[in-house]
Amino acid sequence: MSAIEPAGSSINIKHREAVAHDASALLDIHPVLRQVYLNRGVTQTSQLDRTLKNLPDYCSLTGIDQAVVLIKEAIQLGKKILIVADFDADGATSCAVAIRGLRMLGARDIDFVVPDRFKFGYGLTPEIVEVALQSKPELIITVDNGISSVDGVAYAIEKGCKVVVTDHHLPPAQLPNADAIVNPQLLGDEFPSKSLAGVGVIFYVLLALRASLKEEGAFKGLPIPNLASLLDIVALGTVADVVPMDEINRKLVHQGLLRIQSKKCVPGITALLTIAKREPERVVSSDLGFAVGPRLNAAGRLDDMSLGIQCLLTDNAQEALAIAEQLDMLNVERRSIEEDMKQDAYNILASFKPSENQHQQWGVCLFDKHWHQGVIGILASRIKEKLNRPVIAFATADNGDVKGSARSIPGLHIRDTLDDVASLHPQLLKKFGGHAMAAGMSIAEKNLETFIEAFNQAVKKRLNNQVPDNILLVDGEIPDQEINITLAETLRQAGPWGQNFPEPVFVGRFKVKNARILAQKHVKLELETLTYNRKIDAIYFNVENPDSIIGLSQVSVVYQLDVNTYMGRSSVQLMVKNIEEAH
């Protein structure tokens, strides 16, 4: 495919080592699931509690008291509140939660603005403040952005607005001079989770605001607003932003899923599930991540995220369905653009000159002046998966700049790596920000070659000159007789699974009774267990070389155990992650 071979190109399958060993509290759990939990550090049933009663208190969030005072004053005095959102799924859900929640708590004059990523870029820039000022806000609340918006916050305050920043991204050295900042990542913040998504942060602000209003008697004689009714949207944003699924996020997501499953979610989520052909009653976190999230994200990638936000704000089922259909069309278009860009990327990789050291390219940077700014993040992710290297994809921006979207591999903190580059080359990066696994940046196109070399050296140093292994972790083997619908359902409902609490993956050997190629890139298999000769269906999606599987007689399969529901009937099915000939 390219002169750059994937780092550790042969996949190394390793059994997960149990993080915890005391299983005495988990004896009533199916032994396969018990081992899965031990592999993820779970030893106590309290760690599996998915109710809301033990959610950590909002009081430990730095800045939340000041935020509540400002928002409460704006509500009580009827001031104009403007939400400034980000243009991804976390930003859209954060905005919808903020508007729905503040209305529940008494706000009457509230609106939102979301930057056009192609005109304004990310965050509360002075330019987006100028747009915001047209609606004459007296209080601006950022959701899922703002922690790096030093100039924008200063400009908004200069123009007479109060500013509350709610964010979850890593803070820069210089914080904006906002009237209040709520972000669990702030230095010294004592909130027990650093993994809240932007939508989780604004949800916590609403909890604190409700408590303060209740204390003042604002709801005397009235039902207290049920903020848990927002958890379907909180769940969607949390899963779509791929934040670590720690205990707190698992509670929030699980409760949101329960609302969706019982059809108590907003019409927009119902509509997106309908378009994606998912049954609400059977929705799990992966459905939000792979079916709903991408359709919502498509608006911000190709068009205007206001469309996605409106989908989550409307209470009209027909309007929600109409918007969901538009989002679905945008997502189809996004997939087509992505496929073309992926082929371009493969051609660029193939043109790289081989070197004596195939691993000289520690970090891969790709640029094509025709690439779509809204799709470079997905492209970087796809190439990262192929090469097992950190990847930055660049697209042309305005004023002679290029914008980059980075995706990393386990063990390399990409935002900190960019910080390394910025420290050594202070004028190179115009702006950057992000997380451990994803980041964005802006640089002058004329400096691209200099950046590529600096990034490559920074990655090499961070990896201690050690090529990362391409490891596929598995939770062990499942005995033949246990590969059944009961265990599949048990595992399905044992989540929510997600980042840092991954869905269980297993390995096993099977005979191949039948294999056929579907749509030129998927393989449908009929397998047979070695011990009891039980037949099991399997599907392998997006296979790079599907012909290589046809004709194999015995295979080692890495898989997830899944439930296939068709025509009202359910059966067990293996979702194949890797397949090799077994000798």
**Largest interatomic CA distance in the chain:** 78
The values of phi and psi at residue 10, to 5°, are -80, 135
d(C-alpha 457, C-alpha 464), whole Å: 11
d(C-alpha 281, C-alpha 237), whole Å: 19
Task: Assign 275 a pLDDT band (cuts: 50, 70, 90).
Answer: very high
182 contacts 205 by C-beta, under 8 angstroms: yes
Q: What is the mean pLDDT of residues 171-181?
A: 95
Task: Assign 353 a pLDDT band (cuts: 50, 70, 90).
Answer: low
Q: What percent of the chain has pLDDT over 70?
A: 97
Closest among 436, 528, 379 to 170, alpha carbons compared: 436
Q: What is the mean pLDDT of residues 300-328?
A: 96
Please write the tens of the pLDDT for every residue from 282-298. 999 999 999 999 999 99
Closest among 492, 495, 571, 560 to 534, alpha carbons compared: 571
Question: Which residue's structure tokens are 């298999």?
Answer: 525
Q: Whole-structure pTM over 0.85, yes or no?
A: yes
What are the structure tokens assigned to 215, written together? Answer: 């204390």
Q: What is the mean pLDDT of residues 150-167?
A: 97
Question: Which residue's structure tokens are 């995220």?
Answer: 305
Taking the CB of residue 516, how many other CB atoms lie within 10 A of it?
Answer: 12
pLDDT at 147 over 80: yes
Q: Is 512 helix (H, G, I), strand (E, B) or coil?
A: strand
Alpha-carbon torsion 256, 258, 260, 266, what sign?
Answer: negative
Q: What is the mean pLDDT of residues 158-185?
A: 96
Helix spans in 216-246 (H): 231-240
Question: How high is the mean pLDDT of the chain?
Answer: 92
Lowest mean pLDDT among 205-219, 347-361, 560-574: 347-361
Lowest mean pLDDT among 258-267, 425-434, 522-531: 425-434
Closest among 417, 414, 444 to 428, alpha carbons compared: 444
Task: Assign 354 a pLDDT band (cuts: 50, 70, 90).
Answer: low
pLDDT at 89 over 50: yes
Task: Assign 184 a pLDDT band (cuts: 50, 70, 90).
Answer: very high
What is the third-level CATH fold of 58-329?
A: inorganic pyrophosphatase (n-terminal core) (3.90.1640)
Which residue ranges make up each domain of the chain? 58-329, 352-462, 472-581
pLDDT at 359 over 80: no
pLDDT confidence of residue 117: 79
**What CATH architecture is 472-581?**
Beta Barrel (2.40)
Please write the tens of the pLDDT for every residue from 376-386. 999 999 999 98
352-462 is a CATH 3.40.50.150 domain: no
Q: Is 5 exposed, middle or buried (0-12, 13-18, 19+ CB in 10 A)?
A: middle
pLDDT confidence of residue 356: 40
Specify which residues 364 forms β-bridges with: 391
The torsion region of residue 128 among left (phi > 0), alpha (psi -120 to 50) and beta comes to alpha
Report how far apart, in Å, the C-alpha atoms of 450 and of each of 167, 414, 424, 446 are: 32, 18, 12, 9
Please write the tens of the pLDDT for every residue from 384-393. 998 999 999 9
Task: Assign 22 a pLDDT band (cuts: 50, 70, 90).
Answer: confident
